[in-house]
Amino acid sequence: MVGCTVVKKLINRWKLLTVGITISLYVVSNYLRPPLQAHLTKFDDYHFAGDSSIVTRYHDSKNGSVVEHVLFKVPLHDGSQETIMRRGILLRRPQAKATILMCHGLGCSKQDIALLRMLFTEYNIMLFDFRAHGQDSFGQYCTLGRDEMLDVLAAAQVIKNHEKIKHIPLLVYAFSMGAVSAIEAQARQPDLFKGMILDCPFDSVEKLIRRGLDEMKISFLGYEVPLPGKKLLERCAFNRYTQPVVQAVLRFVSSLDAHGLNIMVHEVKPEKTVKKVEVPCFFIHCKNDEKVPVASIKKVFENTGSRYKHLWITGGRKHFDSFFHEPERYVRKVQRFVSRVINDNYDALPQGKITDDSMHPRAEVF
């Protein structure tokens, strides 16, 4: 009898726990869902004329905006006839004067960066998943920018083909691998974006791997010694047989977490291709970035072909930390840059200026 009583009590407690979890999940899913998905009513599906993009359109009855879930084709490789499908979310706002394409970094997805849409509350925004990231990524490979350039071009084309918004300026906001991919895309198609906000792009894949190998140590008889064979690994970094080692290097270097991703690293050198970028650029970088040194971003900045360029070096504590370090200031500067670009107020844009917060704390540039 005592055993039965104990079992009954355990069962009752389990039932209460189950009910509590169910109620909590209901509250989270129905009342704490991201605003991007709230108040939406589906009203049609359609194809863009002359385009392969498929769009499911939703209407937001709360503020009159429209959310479109986009499915679009991207070439598997440069020049390839084979394609893959990528997914994006396009938020169209009434009276928006520009559209911002947002590009995430390595190991992220469009859902992970949804918070950053607060940067552009007055504009249309489009978020999408790079290949090997987010939805529909099975069997795909991340190339750290080489093929991701094609993803950027295709996503931008979705916007440029859109009857409702193709007539207004298109800018890009991108960070880390996304910023590198955006640079490569703009160098390929000079009229792609009217302006670029580039947070912590790296200088080249080769140097990225070299810095990771330099930091790696192994323990031997109680001592830490440099990783043997570094030069050989560096020379063979782009060989498919060394890719597992390259992934280990990327995992070792914080903030570039390649865990769970299929990676096939190829040579990408944004520090050179950026010479072809001639639109206004706002670079942002953390003073304490452990992955991309300040000297590396300065090289990218100096090589940028645009006359209107500005590098803001923040007090951020690690890779891609500027927004989280000072969000209000970050938002203000980014919005001011966008406003001046879309209004053709080029006289107000810095020309080759570098602002280092560690040298001039709290100094306002714009």
pLDDT tens digits, residue range 150-165?
Answer: 999 999 999 999 999 9
Longest dimension (CA), the chain: 87
Q: Which residues partner with 42 through β-bridges?
A: 58
- Categorize the per-residue pLDDT at 12 as very low, low, confident or very high, splitting at 50, 70 and 90: low
**What are the boundaries of each domain within the chain?**
1-32, 38-204+268-356, 207-252
pTM for the full model? 0.82
Contacts of 88 (CB under 8 A, 6+ apart): 69, 70, 72, 110, 126, 127, 128, 129, 155, 158
- DSSP codes, 145-205: TTTHHHHHHHHHHHHHT-TTTTTS-EEEEEETHHHHHHHHHHHHSTTS-SEEEEES--S-H
d(CA 99, CA 185) in angstroms, rounded, equals 17
Asked whether residue 258 carries a pLDDT value surpassing 80, the answer given is no
Contacts of 165 (CB under 8 A, 6+ apart): 92, 96, 99, 124, 159
**Owner of token pair 């192994």:** 218
- For residues 168 and 98, is the Cβ–Cβ distance under 8 A? yes
Q: Note the pLDDT of residue 36.
A: 47
Mean pLDDT, the chain, rounded, equals 83
Q: For 214, how many CA atoms within 13 A lie in the half-sphere containing its CB? A: 8
d(CA 67, CA 58) in angstroms, rounded, equals 5
Least confident of 54-63, 212-221, 344-353: 54-63
Q: Note the pLDDT of residue 7.
A: 45
- Categorize the per-residue pLDDT at 251 as very low, low, confident or very high, splitting at 50, 70 and 90: low
Calculate the CA dihedral of residues 216, 219, 224, 229 and round it to 10 degrees. Answer: -50
Q: Note the pLDDT of residue 335.
A: 97
Buried b (16+ CB within 10 A) or exposed e, 316-325: beebbbbbeb
Q: Note the pLDDT of residue 289.
A: 92
> CATH says 38-204+268-356 is which class?
alpha beta
- Categorize the per-residue pLDDT at 337 as very low, low, confident or very high, splitting at 50, 70 and 90: very high
Of residues 297, 276, 278, 277, the one with CA closest to residue 286 = 297
- Categorize the per-residue pLDDT at 202 as very low, low, confident or very high, splitting at 50, 70 and 90: very high
- For residues 86 and 154, is the Cβ–Cβ distance under 8 A? yes
Residues of the chain above pLDDT 70, percent: 78
- For residues 275 and 190, is the Cβ–Cβ distance under 8 A? no
Q: Note the pLDDT of residue 196.
A: 98
> Between residues 2 and 287, which one has the greater pLDDT?
287
Beta strands in the chain (DSSP E): 40-47, 54-60, 66-75, 83-92, 99-103, 124-128, 170-175, 195-199, 217-220, 223-226, 281-286, 309-314, 353-356
Condensed to tens digits (0 to 9), the pLDDT of residues 36-95 reads 444 444 444 544 444 556 777 676 656 788 999 999 999 999 999 999 999 999 999 999
Q: Note the pLDDT of residue 113.
A: 94
Q: Which residues partner with 86 through β-bridges?
A: 72
